[in-house]
Structure 1
């Protein structure tokens, strides 16, 4: 008769021996994981911030149809995200691990699909072809290629280390990577892709956006390569032979887990707020304030706030609690955004000054 405890002990010992064969967790892992989100967010933030304006002002697509595209894509995401998660979970680990190989497999497709979204010459094609083109390229990038690299990347932290402190450090560096991408995209890009016409209006230049997308593609590939080369999966669990839950069981487990449902709901609302702000900021600074420089400063402020508070996030959470600190920050920010909405501020720089406290 097999002693289950002995089997578990041997498996744990084997895992410790395998981990000892790898280099210790250190700065390379932190930089590698930071570069993963750095690479992801080049196109994620570019699409969130500029794609709607590109579709409406360059390709001549009505805003309502662009909104329909985004809605359809999110519905497709609901299936591709779960599907990719199950594929990764069922995949058999190789010498590089379970998650790292997907970074290598998907980095070329995701940047190629990202560049295809911003091809300006599509504007000269018939209207029907333009509609088909934006639906195919956007869903290809967001629902398939981006999902194919982001799901494994997000899960990779648990395989790099099993120590809570080290995982928290990876999460912090991931936030720094996203902030650095936001600095590149949010503050520098507007200064290059917009020009001013004779009437003083800010005009988005399609050719310049395409050039930026090509540059970001190269930078993203460099980041993905660093993420793949410098990271090490030390915690390897072979799930390929384990029984998988059915879709019915997964849904049942979801709806009966109050904590998970509340976190998903909070994440959905938070993401909707972020994406709405990024999409509408283009029109706010371009059409209302007519000040692209202020938009660039606002983008830098968001990054500055993240980098400013990142070293203190752990201490704040330890002293006040994660839920309490998050709730206070969200309520404080919401109050300032509500003030900005009703105040109808006309000066872009005053608006940016008040916005700084909302970002904090």
Structure 2
């Protein structure tokens, strides 16, 4: 295949390289990067709160504020890194690969520093100070790699079906990484002890986290290495320093684009629903069901999503992403509402219902990255400017707001219901009222979140499959003329 190179203007040189040809292995290589992301993200998402409350003995309200502040800060660091990467010089392997290749090392260090076992013996004020600083540093380091990594899909190829394959690959990696982490951790993170009444009680094994963190840091490096070796940046836009798009102008592009605003709202609610349920599920299975083995099995709730992953791009291409994902999210909402009213007491019945409930949410999570590439094209059609990293991190900004809320609100709920914290190895029996509230939150909050996402996609999101294909044709015609 040939390479097309043309000057789009006096200040921009647009180079679309079609060599080397796109390989079928690239989506899976890209997926490995999100599996690597999961070794930090899933660990911190699912265990930072319970580590702070049950290993360090920090009040859940204080722990929630720490997570909220950290995630709020990361929303801005994500956007900052996105602008930085968009304006970075082109290197031999492109613009975005350098960030992942270089900045993964600080992230590896922070994973280990987050779970140092001897911190639990420090005075309480020092524990709080230390974990606050490390948590904020961790989310910033995660931004430095995950934000540029997100741009790989949109700059890998100008061909829509290949970009959809890359987006589906990333969704597969995110889902598979979540299954790996959440299936393994409950088996090693808890130990069974006797409470004051002589009954078996499962408690967090805080010291085990350091070994998990070391292994995960190594696995993160390996996954990123596979992604770096197996993906190619084919779309490259070289800009003069004087004519780069100012950050404020990039923000204006995003917040005046209806599709972008709708997806940002959907992203906020998606991550809120997922992380809120994930954080509360840790307590639900530990305290309400007293069965963390079932929590490990719950990790496989997204296996059906992995099974349909190879077919999802074709299905969405035929019926439209917004229609397919919106309809499945309605199903997710209905199932969660049924679970709320059933008040299930058998953990394995709850797991079975959760598998059905998470299908719609999982398919949307699988295809959401393809929504982003459609929006990047839509903005380019309207503005003749391509800002992959900035648009991606605008989306990530909304996700991080959702993460911040999902880190704060579960902790606030726990504190309000009288949840009693513990230091490593202690046994605490929660009140019946606390347990009932945990169950209610674990089912009703995802129902509300997923229901709102369905409304946003089906009613407010404007980019149907037909519009996205028309945009792709417009941009293809422009590229043939050497235009943006």
Counterpart contact for 1:100–1:152, Cα < 8 Å: yes
User: Could you tell me which residue of structure 2 aligns to residue 309 of structure 1?
Assistant: 308
User: Could you tell me which residue of structure 1 aligns to residue 171 of structure 2?
Assistant: 175
Within 1, Cα distance between the matches of 2:14 and 2:332? Answer: 49
Change in 2 beyond 3 A, CA 1:25/1:6:
closer
Change in 2 beyond 3 A, CA 1:309/1:242:
farther
Within 2, Cα distance between the matches of 1:112 and 1:7? Answer: 43
RMSD: 2.2
Counterpart contact for 1:106–1:145, Cα < 8 Å: yes
Change in 2 beyond 3 A, CA 1:38/1:87:
same
Map of 1:1-360 to 2, 5 A cutoff? 7-8=7-8, 15=15, 19-20=18-19, 23-142=20-139, 144-198=140-194, 199-241=199-241, 243-302=243-302, 304-360=303-359
Change in 2 beyond 3 A, CA 1:30/1:254:
closer
Task: Give 1 or 2: higher helix fraction.
Answer: 1
Counterpart contact for 1:89–1:239, Cα < 8 Å: no
Within 2, Cα distance between the matches of 1:128 and 1:43? Answer: 26
Deviations 1:244-303 (A, max 9, x none): 44454344433322221111001101111111011111001000001111111111122x
Counterpart contact for 1:114–1:141, Cα < 8 Å: yes
Within 2, Cα distance between the matches of 1:228 and 1:177? Answer: 15
Within 2, Cα distance between the matches of 1:80 and 1:171? Answer: 23
SS of the residue corresponding to residue 96 of structure 1 reads: coil
Shift of 1:184: 1.6
Shift of 1:50: 1.3
Counterpart contact for 1:102–1:149, Cα < 8 Å: yes
Deviations 1:199-233 (A, max 9, x none): 31111111212211111111111111111122222
Change in 2 beyond 3 A, CA 1:219/1:81:
same
Deviations 1:318-343 (A, max 9, x none): 34321121111111111111221222
Counterpart contact for 1:91–1:240, Cα < 8 Å: no
SS of the residue corresponding to residue 161 of structure 2 reads: helix
Within 1, Cα distance between the matches of 2:285 and 2:220? Answer: 27
Within 1, Cα distance between the matches of 2:86 and 2:247? Answer: 14
Counterpart contact for 1:336–1:358, Cα < 8 Å: yes
Within 2, Cα distance between the matches of 1:14 and 1:280? Answer: 48
Counterpart contact for 1:38–1:180, Cα < 8 Å: yes
Q: Structure 1: which 5+ runs fail to align?
A: none
Within 2, Cα distance between the matches of 1:282 and 1:197? Answer: 18
Shift of 1:13: 11
Shift of 1:352: 1.1
Shift of 1:6: 7.2
Within 1, Cα distance between the matches of 2:318 and 2:229? Answer: 37
Counterpart contact for 1:333–1:357, Cα < 8 Å: yes
- Aligned positions, number: 350
Change in 2 beyond 3 A, CA 1:12/1:51:
closer
Name the TM-score, length of structure 1 as normaliser. Answer: 0.91
SS of the residue corresponding to residue 203 of structure 2 reads: strand
Counterpart contact for 2:112–2:214, Cα < 8 Å: yes
Within 2, Cα distance between the matches of 1:240 and 1:184? Answer: 44
SS of the residue corresponding to residue 98 of structure 1 reads: coil
Change in 2 beyond 3 A, CA 1:255/1:195:
same
Change in 2 beyond 3 A, CA 1:161/1:252:
closer
Counterpart contact for 2:26–2:231, Cα < 8 Å: yes
Name the TM-score, length of structure 2 as normaliser. Answer: 0.69
